Each structure stands twice: as C-alpha cells, then as structure tokens.
Structure 1
Amino acid sequence: MKIVSDKNNLQVLYEDNHIIVVNKRVGDIVQGDKTGDKPLSDVVKEYIKQKYDKPGNVYLGVVHRLDRPTTGIVLFAKTSKALSRLNDLFKNRETQKTYWAIVKNRPEKESDTLVHYLKRNEKSNTSKAHIKEVPNSKKASLDYTIIKTLDNYYALEINLHTGRHHQIRSQLSAIGSPIKGDLKYGFDRSNQDGGIHLHARKLELTHPVTKEHLSITAPVPEDRIWKSI
C-alpha cells in the first residue's frame, strides 16, 4: 500500500473520491475541542484543498474518533452520501476494528473475551469498568490475544465488539494490564511523547459507495517497542 505524506506530515493510507483514511499521530485531535488546538479534520481539509486545487470550503465528514494519546487509523468522508452510509455501517457494527496495545503486566489468559459494564465520569473524562451492571453503565465487550512477548512488555491484538468511551483502556486496566504510558488508567509512568501504546491497526469495511471490501492497515509509530513486534 502506497502511503502519501504531505508537508503537515499527514500519512494518507487510502483515498478515493468518497473517503480518505489517515494514520493519526500521538497528540492529534480528530475534531476541534475546547483546547482550541488545530484538529486533524482541518489538516485533512487543507491537504484535499491543496492537492486538488479546490476553491472555497472543502467538505469533510468525521465518521469516528480516536483518543488524543492514541495512534492509528481514522476514516473521514469526502461526500455527504459517503458520510451517511458510513455512519450507518459504524452504528450497525458492520465494520471490523483491530487494535494493538502494549502492556507491562501479562494478562492471566493467552486470549480471552472481556465483558464489562462501563460507567463514564464526565468530570475526570474516564470510564470505570464494572463486572456487573450498575446504574447508567453500558455493556462493553472485546477479544484480546497476546501476539508477542517482548523484553519487558506484552503486545496484544484486540478486536472490539462495542465502541464505548475509553473501552480498551478501561477494560485492560480492569484486568490489571493497563496500557504503557496510560497514567489515567493505572500505568506507573507516562511516555515521553505524552501518548499511550494503543494503536488502531486495521479497519475492514464495505466501501460506502462502490461496495468493495476494504482492508486498511496502519503502520505502527517510529518507536523501538512498536518496531519490535
């Protein structure tokens, strides 16, 4: 797969007339928030405007988000028709998202399905994983497998069944395996770049317009631990 980078260091993994998929870096915010920092959506708009010499405003629909300290695949819609259909695909769980995570504490099982009930705390912007349902909680489910044992860490591959707030981060923390660098969920120290070792590795879906099957993979960051997988 050819990866395009522009002056904003934007890694474009896939692009056609209807959608564009980029590899998000640590620290990028997908959509504007109260920080006022320039969002990835604006960077992508500038890329499209420049590449195609488009006059006026560029249309770009935000389909889903990744946490700011997380890296990997983010999909945007370039047309309103594509956005509407992609929203339906994500809502109906007709996409397959695969993540990689690095943890220090080995999970008890080589592979497992985790089911928790997550309750979000808006004040601290966290989600707490409960074994049993509690008021205002939402069911969260994922599969994980240990894919490699590293010198001091373990690499996990994770497939999401639901898409809850901070789901992977809170569920792995709940089994005693917080993600490397994730102070918010119990890791003992931060990463130098302020990110966490959670990467949206792969996205599989049916193209919203052409109906072809797409399988897109995002290279891991330039990082010694990631590169050792």
Structure 2
Amino acid sequence: MSVINTWREHFCDWRPVELLETRAGTPFSFEARTVGAPYSVRTFTRPLIASLMPEVEQAPRIPFSLGKNPDFEVLYEDQDSIAILKPSGIPSVPGILEPVNMKSVLEEKTGPLYTVHRLDQGTSGVLLFAKNAAAAASLSDAFASRLTRKTYTAILEGETGIAGSVETLRLPLGGDPFDLPRQIVLSESNRGKSAKSAAEIIAVSEHRGFARTLVRLHPETGRTHQLRIHMALGFGCPILGDALYGKRGLFELREPRLYLHLEELTFPRVSDGKPVTVRIDSGFSSLL
C-alpha cells in the first residue's frame, strides 16, 4: 500500500493510460510466456489492482472486436443444421464483454439456433449450429464422441520442421487458475486433460526477415486453446497474431488477426448419419 501511496504523491498530476504485466525471469515450462513481452493483467490480480488504482485503465482481455454486426456466408444448410463462415474477430456465441456474436447475428435471419461447438474469437472458418433440440443433442454427441473431424490451417512464427513432415503433439492441458481463460500444461494426475494434435508442415518461408511456417492441424481432442498452446509450447512456434501465447505478447495485436482458420469440418448428418464435409479455404498460402 505504501508503494501505491508514494506513487500517488509524486505523480498525482499524471494520468495513467494503461496497465499491463510483463514476465521477469525464466518462464515456467508449463506456460507460454516470453521474458519482456507485455501481457494483459492476469485475471487473479485485476480486482486488486482495480481497487488500489481505479484511475488506471487495464489492458483489454479481448483483443479482437469489430463492434458491428458482421456479414456471413452460409456454407451448408439442411433441415437440422447450418454452417457458416465465421470471420476472425467475432465471438461464436454471446459473451459478457462483447455483445456482437455470430449466433445472435445469424438468429436474426434463421430464428433460434443451438450451439454444438465453438471457435475462439480470433479464429475464422467453418462454424456449425443446430436448428432444433434433437439435432443439437445428436451433433453435440458427435463432437463429444469424436465422430467429427476438423482440419485447421495456421501460420506460425518461426521455422519448425521440414515441408511434408508430420508431427504428433501430446500435452495435457488445464486452465490457469490465476489467469483464465489462459491454458497451461498440467499432468493428468493434476487435473490436466489429455490433448493430442497432429501437425503437417506445408511450407516454410521468410517474410520481411522473419521465418514463417504454414501448417495443417488436426486436433484429435477439443480442449480450450489446444492448438494455440500446442504450437507455442510443443513446437516453440506460436500462431502468428496470438496475443495470449505469442512471443510478443500484446504486441501481437499489431497483426491484422490471429492466423488460425478451421478450413474443413466433417460431421454426421442428423437425418441419416452420412458424413458431410464443409470446406472453406483460409487463403493463408498467398501470404507467405
């Protein structure tokens, strides 16, 4: 408290602009942080800082926001389900901090929908909704039972592997109790959930003096932020534009977006169980 009071006495005429955190010392092996990179203030400390220094605006927890209803493209539709192209920067479903979301926007034209899976706010690609409760139960069970298949593409910071090679990553994950929704690597005996991803190296190139790797990703499990932390810790090459797990922290927001895209989704059709594949290209290959 004395430090806060001293700060107020000497800088009472100054108006703080924003508060953030940075890592000093070697990061723990289970977290994806870089020494010296700025990050949003942790969830655990935000209430304390807000009470001690209410005049300080803390760095935002959600970096992507368009602030208006987005356009969307319908990729597939039948009597039980609808799949659309979700743009980067829009939440999949309603949240506390961002009123604009794909489910609500789509419901204005289709009527009530049911959530069966989600994409992170910064992730683009195929997003599937159910049109009725029975279809929602069927599709949710398909996702839970791993009867669906997802193929993502991503651009990574740095160079990893040789084009054409395939790597399998196994890192059990769990939520960081001090900084949700950030995920960390935890042993399965310590509340960690098994997480497995396959990564195929498509191309490696250099852009403005920095190495970039284009990968195709197949998650076999569906943990929160699984691909993002598997790339950051498993490969040591985080996804470009990832302000949560990237090497540059909040400086990642200088990128136009998070370069992660659900390119292909295969799921069993509710009416007859036959597989349906919905695909939309990411366009990332043209950026390398």
The TM tier, using the shorter chain, reads 0.7 to 0.9
Tell me which residue corresponds to 2:181.
125
Alignment of 1:57-72 (within 5 A): 58-72=111-125
Instruction: Indicate conservation of the 8 Å contact 1:180/1:191, yes or no.
Output: no
- How many Å apart are 1:108 and its aligned residue? 4.1
Alpha-carbon distance in 2 for matches of 1:209, 1:25: 28
Tell me which residue corresponds to 1:98.
151
Q: 1:41 and 2:126 equivalent?
A: no
Larger Rg: 2
Instruction: Kindly provide the CA deviation profile for residues 71-104 of structure 1, in whole angstroms up to 9, marking residues without a partner as x.
Output: 1111000121211100110110000011111012
Alignment of 1:153-164 (within 5 A): 153-164=212-223
Tell me which residue corresponds to 1:53.
none
More strand by share: 1
Instruction: Indicate conservation of the 8 Å contact 1:142/1:158, yes or no.
Output: yes
Partner AA of 1:157 in structure 2: R
Alpha-carbon distance in 2 for matches of 1:31, 1:77: 13
2:160 paired residue among 97, 107, 117: 107
Partner AA of 1:33 in structure 2: G
1:23 paired residue among 76, 85, 100: 85
Tell me which residue corresponds to 2:139.
86
Instruction: Indicate conservation of the 8 Å contact 1:120/1:128, yes or no.
Output: yes
- Give the number of aligned pairs: 210
Q: TM-score scaled by structure 1?
A: 0.84
SS at match of 2:106: helix
- How many Å apart are 1:209 and its aligned residue? 1.4
Q: 1:173 and 2:224 equivalent?
A: no
Tell me which residue corresponds to 2:4.
none
Alignment of 1:176-215 (within 5 A): 176-188=236-248, 189-192=251-254, 195-215=257-277
> Which moves more between the two structures, 176-185 or 186-195?
186-195
* CA gap 1:193/1:41 in 2 versus in 1, 3 angstroms: farther
SS at match of 2:194: strand
Partner AA of 1:26 in structure 2: S
SS at match of 2:85: strand
2:279 paired residue among 196, 205, 217: 217
Q: Which runs of 5+ in 2 are unaligned?
A: 1-68
- How many Å apart are 1:39 and its aligned residue? 1.6
- How many Å apart are 1:14 and its aligned residue? 0.5
Identity across the alignment (%): 27
Instruction: Kindly provide the CA deviation profile for residues 162-203 of structure 1, in whole angstroms up to 9, marking residues without a partner as x.
Output: 000100001110021100011210232324466310001100
* CA gap 1:80/1:213 in 2 versus in 1, 3 angstroms: same
Q: Which runs of 5+ in 1 are unaligned?
A: 1-6, 49-57
Partner AA of 1:182 in structure 2: D
SS at match of 1:184: coil
Instruction: Indicate conservation of the 8 Å contact 2:92/2:119, yes or no.
Output: yes
Alpha-carbon distance in 2 for matches of 1:100, 1:76: 21
Alpha-carbon distance in 2 for matches of 1:186, 1:134: 27
Instruction: Indicate conservation of the 8 Å contact 2:168/2:197, yes or no.
Output: yes
